[in-house]
Amino acid sequence: MKRRTVICSIFALVIAVFGMAQAEAGYHVAFDFESGWTGDYAPGWENSAYRHGEAPVGKMMQQVSTAYSGSYGMKLIADSTPESWMWWAAVSPIDVSAVAMQKQYDPWISVRYYDEGSSPTADDPAGQLYAVPSWVNPYINGSEDWTDIQFGARFNVEDNYYHVAVGEGHPGWQNTGVARTVGWHQLKMQLSSADGYVRFYVDGALVGQSYRNDYSDLGPETGLYTMFNDPLSAWATKPYTIWDDFEFGSTFVPAPGAVLLGSVGIGLVGWFRRRKRL
């Protein structure tokens, strides 16, 4: 398990403060991927950690003319995996305020996903939005919880959009009943301060909720997945997914004069050494 101190970058801080000043609606951070970057990750992003060892490597390519708004979208490429059985690559924003994403502030995460469709004869890459709320029920050997939440398309069940919110006795993937179609779709999840459930939305319509309601937050660990049929070495062209307008926020407003800084966080991404094809 990786432990790190999250320090707000000037980039994310300016966006958060600007969002609060403009909307007066609380904490809000947005990435539109319009400004170019060098290297493998957009400013304010990094490769997602894997707490059981070396993580698969996802790379963010900015120059993608497929865009929901503006001129560019972001292509998330599954570049490499340290183990042949791994079937994901993920990236995450660095500066998510742990305080602002607490339950009492109705935290939410949203993104635009370009669904390139599915094939009845092949496993296609699929994109998912994810969050890792804080542990609250250490039922695994009395010391760990499993709180991963995933929402979006699946590469091996390609009919509809699905969500899964795991934990003790979880029911597995839940079918939203919303068919996948080619084009842009909004994926959003929000933790309710009223009843503690995480609710899932496709294009603004409520499509399901988590089976558990004991969350204390939506977590400072969130991001995007490209999922694919392993092994990665079998792909002639590396699998990828396309995204735009990644946002997160809540009703949290810092005290007058306060500086919104990140806090000590724990990289909890993925309890992935589990039954494959969950």
Determine what percent of the chain is predicted with pLDDT higher than 70.
82
Q: What is the mean pLDDT of residues 189-193?
A: 98
Q: What is the mean pLDDT of residues 121-130?
A: 87
Q: What is the mean pLDDT of residues 141-164?
A: 95
Q: Which pair of tokens denotes residue 135? A: 């542990």
Q: Which pair of tokens denotes residue 111? A: 């993104």
Query: Does the CA dihedral 215-217-221-227 come out positive or negative?
Result: positive
Q: How far is it, in rounded angstroms, from Cα 158 to Cα 198? A: 23
- Which residues of the chain form beta strands (DSSP E)? 2-5, 28-31, 45-47, 57-64, 73-80, 88-93, 108-115, 126-132, 149-152, 160-165, 174-179, 183-191, 198-202, 205-209, 221-227, 240-249, 264-267
**Nearest-5° Cα angle at 201, 197 to 202:** 160
Q: Which CATH number does 2-267 carry?
A: 2.60.120.560
Q: Would you state the pLDDT for residue 18?
A: 40
Where does the pLDDT of residue 199 fall: very low under 50, low under 70, confident under 90, or very high at 90 and above? Answer: very high
Chain segment 19-36, per-residue pLDDT in tens: 434 344 699 999 999 998
CB-side neighbour CA atoms (13 Å) of 148: 23
Where does the pLDDT of residue 126 fall: very low under 50, low under 70, confident under 90, or very high at 90 and above? Answer: very high
Higher pLDDT, 52 or 94: 94
What CA dihedral angle connects 125, 131, 82 and 120, to 10 degrees?
A: -20
Q: Give the global pTM.
A: 0.85
Distance of CA 28 to the CA centre of its chain: 16
**Nearest-5° Cα angle at 174, 215 to 265:** 30
Chain segment 206-219, per-residue pLDDT in tens: 999 999 999 999 99
* 271: pLDDT strictly greater than 90: no
Q: Would you state the pLDDT for residue 63?
A: 81
Where does the pLDDT of residue 121 fall: very low under 50, low under 70, confident under 90, or very high at 90 and above? Answer: low
Q: Which pair of tokens denotes residue 186? A: 């909004």
* 174: pLDDT strictly greater than 80: yes
Q: How far is it, in rounded angstroms, from Cα 173 to Cα 153? A: 11
